[in-house]
């Protein structure tokens, strides 16, 4: 594709406002401008869309797998590339491959693979999410309790060293098992710390936030709930304006009413945003797979262990956008921001991602009027066409 071109024929959502009869001009992989179609010079190459909407590319900070691959099964640059490729068709243009609780050796391999992916600029890769192993066994969810362990000094050093070579490094920890001092050390080094798989009290969660934790992993799931005398991690998340939170909007992980209540109650400026928690099933027709030696079954839109425990999600990002728009009644603007701008803010890349404004990465999704993904560009290059 030429280094300068204009996408025309669709209304444009820049992350804040809609533009009609306008063209999105891309130059050298970034957004150059949004301007009236009638003002385009005759020599600029046009990429014509037949209606629909151009919106900022989706950002997913919790992606365990896709394309038949789980990061835990064998962390490598090829696995990361396969996972990223699988999510393009669903509008995700930037993601954090996510390693759930595993052995120290597998964790080290995931860090090494992420460093390699960053060096090779793998399309769609923006960093790594280490979900565990420093969690609460009582709120383990699908994580193998035999692999959950406290954070020792060697773990702390390893993650601080890793963030020097990985663009975004996010780790989920349980604040009752990881001290505020360790949280502060990670945050000071540039690590984004999220609270999750935790039975912590409201006070313990807010102490972790005061130490620098800025996010909560899959709100409501695998955490202490909002009680009238014990607000728990959920209460701390909604009350604190400094804690953003991922939400799995598939209708199975969280009831629709609870989602709506949380969205109304959340204190800003931090936001609730969409995550998929996707497993290897995305982009495939496989019906079962294994994780840490345990069989996970895919049926009825759910992924479950043999005992019925939800094990990640059979969810893609455009489906999550449609869910909050159509099932919860959010405006399309806000639904799109929950998949783009708000996750960008949560991992501190909103100066380059999450909007279609001059200087931003040309990560663009073309949606049909029915909100199906039609085209996807990453860094100005076309990576998917339906």
Which residues are tagged catalytic?
A: 277
What does each C-alpha distance from 275 to 75, 174, 221, 340 come to in angstroms? 21, 19, 12, 10
Contact status, residue 113 vs residue 77, Cβ threshold 8 Å: yes
**What residues contact residue 151 under an 8 Å CB cut-off, 6+ apart?**
134, 173, 177, 178, 182
Number of H-type helices and E-type strands within the chain: 10, 23
First to last CA, the chain: 18
CA dist., res. 384 & res. 386, Å (int)? 7
> What are the structure tokens assigned to 307, written together?
């005992």
Give the tokens for residue 264: 């109304």
Which helix (H) or strand (E) element contains residue 7?
strand 4-8
Buried b (16+ CB within 10 A) or exposed e, 69-86: bbbbbebbbebbbbbbbb
Q: How many CB atoms lie within 10 A of CB 44?
A: 14
Angstrom distance (rounded) from CA 357 to CA 99: 32
Q: Which residue has the tokens 């380059």?
A: 352
Phi, psi torsion values for 158, nearest 5 degrees: -60, -40
Give the whole-angstrom CA distance, residue 128 versus residue 383: 21
């Amino acid at each position: 594709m030429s280094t300068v071109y204009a996408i025309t024929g669709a209304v444009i959502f820049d992350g804040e406002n809609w533009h009609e009869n306008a063209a999105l001009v891309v130059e050298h992989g970034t957004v150059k401008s949004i301007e009236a179609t009638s003002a385009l010079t005759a020599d600029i190459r046009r990429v014509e869309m037949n209606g629909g909407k151009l919106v900022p590319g989706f950002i997913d900070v919790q992606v365990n797998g896709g394309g038949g691959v789980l990061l835990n099964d064998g962390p490598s640059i090829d696995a990361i590339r396969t996972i990223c490729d699988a999510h393009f068709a669903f509008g995700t243009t930037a993601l954090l491959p996510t390693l759930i609780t595993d052995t120290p050796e597998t964790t080290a391999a995931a860090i090494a693979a992420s460093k390699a992916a960053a060096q090779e600029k793998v399309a769609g890769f923006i960093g790594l999410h280490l979900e565990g192993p420093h969690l609460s066994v009582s709120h383990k969810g699908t994580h193998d309790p035999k692999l959950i362990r406290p954070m020792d000094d060697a773990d702390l050093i390893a993650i601080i060293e890793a963030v020097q070579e990985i663009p975004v490094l996010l780790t989920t920890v349980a604040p009752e098992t990881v001290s505020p001092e360790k949280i502060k050390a990670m945050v000071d080094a540039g690590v984004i710390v999220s609270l999750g798989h935790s039975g912590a009290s409201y006070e313990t969660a807010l102490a972790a936030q005061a130490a620098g934790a800025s996010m909560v992993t899959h709100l409501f799931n695998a955490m202490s709930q909002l009680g009238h005398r014990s607000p728990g991690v959920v209460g701390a998340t909604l009350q604190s304006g400094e804690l953003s939170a991922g939400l799995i909007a598939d209708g199975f992980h969280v009831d629709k009413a609870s989602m709506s209540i949380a969205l109304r109650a959340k204190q800003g400026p931090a936001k609730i945003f969409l995550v998929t928690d996707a497993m290897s099933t995305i982009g495939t027709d496989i019906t079962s797979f294994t994780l840490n030696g345990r069989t996970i079954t895919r049926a009825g839109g759910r992924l479950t262990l043999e005992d019925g425990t939800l094990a990640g999600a059979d969810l893609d990002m455009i489906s999550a956008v449609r869910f909050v728009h159509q099932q919860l009644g959010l405006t399309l603007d806000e639904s799109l921001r929950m998949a783009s701008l708000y996750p960008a803010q949560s991992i501190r890349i909103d100066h380059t991602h999450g909007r279609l404004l001059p200087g931003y990465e040309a990560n663009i999704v073309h949606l049909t009027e029915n909100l199906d993904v039609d085209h996807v560009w990453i860094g100005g290059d076309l990576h998917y066409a339906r």
